[in-house]
Amino acid sequence: MELRPGRAVRALCGLFLLILLVLQHPGRAERAPGSQLDDSAIAAEFCRIDKALCHDEDEQLSFEAVRNIHKQMDDDANGNVDVEESDEFLREDLNYHDPAVKHSTFHGEDKLISVEDLWKAWKTSEVYNWTVDEVVQWLISYVELPQYEETFRKLQLSGHAMPRSVPCQCQCHVNVSAVPRLAVNNATMMGTVLKMTDRSHRQKLQLKALDTVLFGPPLLTRHNHLKDFMLVVSIVIGVGGCWFAYIQNRYSKEHMKKMMKDLEGLHRAEQSLHDLQER
């Protein structure tokens, strides 16, 4: 069908307005391949699930990331993650050979996990309220990527950063929507903002973040104070054992010296007695 000049002008104007909208709101570009209708549907779903936070842009991005994680696990796209789907996800995506404990933690008494269930579990997770220091500790001790500590501190990545885009301070010079999602695979953003040129590092961070979002903080960070206490106790016991061994060794040497002197004196007395008998 031939396109009339008037329609052509309107089409060009519409295209220009669309480009202008994308430039003004780059955060929406991250949500591709979703359309404006998809964004409205996601916003409506979020308001239905969590009306108190649905108007917070950061929380909207967080909800969208949690929703994407749920979609990744929901193979049959029926809106619920059942036992078989979570088991397959744990084995194939997170590489757990024996996922029994994780499986129990994820499902609990509920065999069907909806987006709402996953969102509520995330909000009540200890990780949700992690500070920047706790996230950095997690990065160093659990993810084992200490070379990115400075970047994480500069971007002020708190616990909210685990599943979604994170708040960014002015010095970052990056729009809030352009900050990488940690638990959602976004290689471009991880490479641009976190400066992760190593693909294995990006994959490792994403998998560890995904594990932490779904199952809570790892034991390494959860029992950190207990670990420190046990370490101190072990050091005290070790030092005490070494000191006790040193004292025992010193006592044994002194006892041996004294015994040798006594034996030497006894030998001299015996020799004197023998000389006396000969006389």
CATH label of the domain that carries residue 203: 1.10.150.50
pLDDT score recorded for residue 147: 92
Domain membership of residue 51 (yes or no) is: no
Cα separation, 254 vs 246, whole angstroms: 12
Residue range(s) defining the domain that contains residue 212: 129-222
Percent over 70 (pLDDT), the chain: 73
The pLDDT tens digits of the residues spanning 172-184 come to: 434 333 233 466 6
Cα separation, 277 vs 279, whole angstroms: 5
Per-residue pLDDT at 28 exceeds 60:
no
Looking at per-residue pLDDT, the higher value among 189 and 71 belongs to 71
Task: Please tell me whether residue 2 adopts helix, strand or coil conformation.
Answer: coil
Kindly state the DSSP code that residue 181 receives in the 8-state scheme.
P
Domain membership of residue 169 (yes or no) is: yes
The pLDDT tens digits of the residues spanning 184-213 come to: 666 666 777 777 888 888 888 888 888 888
Name all contacts of 177-182 with Cβ < 8 Å and 24+ positions apart: 177/25, 177/26, 177/27, 177/28, 177/29, 177/30, 177/61, 178/26, 178/27, 178/30, 179/155, 181/65, 182/157, 182/206, 182/209
Provide the mean pLDDT of the chain: 75
Domain membership of residue 145 (yes or no) is: yes
Q: What's the token pair of residue 273?
A: 């007695």
Kindly state the DSSP code that residue 81 receives in the 8-state scheme.
B
Cβ-contact 221, 134 below 8 angstroms? yes
Please give the backbone phi and psi of residue 81, each rounded to the nearest 5 degrees, phi first. -95, 115
Domain membership of residue 122 (yes or no) is: no
Domain membership of residue 248 (yes or no) is: no
The pLDDT tens digits of the residues spanning 218-251 come to: 865 445 567 778 888 999 999 999 999 999 988 8
Looking at per-residue pLDDT, the higher value among 14 and 58 belongs to 58
Number of domains, the chain = 1
How far apart, in Å, do the first and last CA atoms of the chain sit? 146
The pLDDT tens digits of the residues spanning 116-163 come to: 888 888 888 888 888 889 889 988 998 899 998 998 888 888 887 667
Domain membership of residue 185 (yes or no) is: yes
29 CB contacts (<8 Å, ≥6 apart)? Answer: 22, 177
263 CB contacts (<8 Å, ≥6 apart)? Answer: none
| pLDDT tier at 276, thresholds 50, 70, 90 | confident
Cβ-contact 212, 218 below 8 angstroms? yes
Domain membership of residue 256 (yes or no) is: no
Q: Can the peptide bond before residue 33 be classed as cis, meaning omega within 30 degrees of 0?
A: yes
Domain membership of residue 75 (yes or no) is: no
pLDDT score recorded for residue 34: 45
Cα separation, 96 vs 73, whole angstroms: 15
Residue type (1 letter), 78: N
Cβ-contact 252, 244 below 8 angstroms? no
Q: How far is CA 88 from CA 92, 105, 123, 206, 210, in A?
A: 6, 15, 25, 18, 15
